[in-house]
Amino acid sequence: MFFTSSTNDRWQSRTTFFFGLIAATLGLGNVWRTAGLAAEHGGAAFWILYVVMLVLIAVPLVLSEAVVGRAAQGGVASAIEVFAQRSGASRWWSVLGVFTTLSALIAALSLLLIVGWVVPVGLDLARGEFAAVSLLQVGEYFQALDQTPDRTFHASLLVLAGLIAVLITGVKRGLGFFVWLVSLAVFALVSILVYHSLLVGDVTAAGSYLFDSQLSALSWRSWLYALIQAMTTLCLGLGVFSTYSAYASNEVPLGRVMLAVCVFDVGFGVLASVIVYPLMFAQDIIPTNGLSLLFIAIPQAYGNVVQGDLMGTLYYLMVLLTLLGTLIALLQVVVSVVGQWSRLSRFVVAPIVGLVVGGLLWGLNQWVGSQAGYSTWLMVALSDRLLSTVLVPLVALGFAWLVGWHANTIGLVRALDRESHTFIRLWMGLLKYLVPLASVTLLSVGWLAYI
């Protein structure tokens, strides 16, 4: 049956499990936000602060999710319920699974909306539509694209259909092969794009902008941005680590895997910045981040550089692949939860989830098109704020409280029997005290980062 992690529907190897987590967590945040925040908030000082937040807060959280998934071996909602029962906690902890699944669904819808922009921009770059284009012309292009929901909706729907087809084939044959493909393709594309950027970009100016340490630029807002970025870049609170760990062998050293994922995340963030910022400085484009970086500054940069049409197309292919790696993980979270609730096979559940998600996408497009003053851009921005300041810290607080304060210590040691007792004690201390403090901080003042 689909709703259990049987021996016929598990990761084929430890490497496949690791690549699955890598593909899920490379993430859009590293592409459009991390480097820009670092440059604005102290350069190397911010990078160090960000890494500290990842190690002390994000890694303990994703490890708690992984432990829940390994212990209960099922969809995140049922895994939380079973874990709570085994720990002697209240049955009301099942609400945490509902919030986690809801967060995954909202994140998937937001990423599908972004996919609807990435695909046409990449195709238009390949056709030479951005050759010698000005910043104003790119802005007008994207405004027209944002006001053409049919084109973006069709691209999102096509990608959704492809991902659902992969999920129908199962974890071992479909999802496992897909995460290998995505991970290796992204690594190859990053290598090509970094080489091109080093050849034609202003590396010195970009390096100074991104990595020169300026302690005076650090403020309370810098700490808040670093915390938000650390808690969102690894798909925290979305059930990905719990779901993927349910399909992993008990021989996998979860703690070391989570630390390795953290290292890859930081490395990808640095390389993603090396790809685009030298190109921008070579053409005197004002550095930025977020949606304006991805869909305005970068198309202009590639449109006005040697081999820009080809390299720009490869860049947006890389962005698309990073989105697909995260998207398929989020959809797997939802599919696994629905499968366990309904006791239906993946051949039935995956298409149903695809139809529901596609219907929600269609409804969002229709609603945005009928409301004056609203746009897909605004919907993406609102979902980002909802996730980063409410849902993710709320779910993170729940996992920290459940695993840190209610779990059976012997059970945790058994789940992490490949790790040292010192590592487990340190993890438990962070999970009990520091992670709840960080989560409460985001819930109370996280909104200040966006004003």
Contact between 262 and 430 under an 8 Å Cβ cutoff? The reply is no
CA 226 to chain centre: 16
H helices present in 305-374, as ranges: 308-342, 346-370
Q: Shortest CA distance to 239 belongs to which of 392, 344, 58?
A: 392
pLDDT, residue 1, reads 36
pLDDT, residue 5, reads 43
pLDDT, residue 127, reads 94
Q: DSSP for 63-94, please give it.
A: HHHHHHHHHH-S-HHHHHHHHHHHTT--GGGH
Place of tokens 């366990």: 340
What is the identity of the amino acid at 396?
A
- Main-chain phi, psi angles of 88, to 5 degrees: 75, 20
The count of other CB atoms within 10 Å of the CB of residue 277 is 27
pLDDT, residue 329, reads 97
Place of tokens 């319920």: 81
Contact between 11 and 249 under an 8 Å Cβ cutoff? The reply is yes
pLDDT, residue 171, reads 94
Provide the residue ranges of all domains of the chain, joining segments of one domain with +. 14-450
- Main-chain phi, psi angles of 304, to 5 degrees: -125, 30
Q: Shortest CA distance to 293 belongs to which of 29, 116, 109, 25?
A: 29
pLDDT, residue 450, reads 87
- Main-chain phi, psi angles of 44, to 5 degrees: -60, -35
Kindly report the CATH number that applies to the domain delimited by 14-450: 1.10.4160
pLDDT, residue 8, reads 55
What is the identity of the amino acid at 439?
S
Q: Shortest CA distance to 327 belongs to which of 151, 431, 179?
A: 179
Mean pLDDT in order along the chain per 10 residues (451 residues): 51 94 91 91 94 96 94 86 90 93 96 95 94 91 84 94 96 94 97 97 95 90 95 90 94 94 95 95 89 92 94 97 97 95 94 97 86 80 94 96 91 88 95 97 93 81
CA distance 408 to 410: 6
Contact between 275 and 193 under an 8 Å Cβ cutoff? The reply is yes
Question: What size, in residues, is the chain?
Answer: 451
pLDDT, residue 366, reads 86
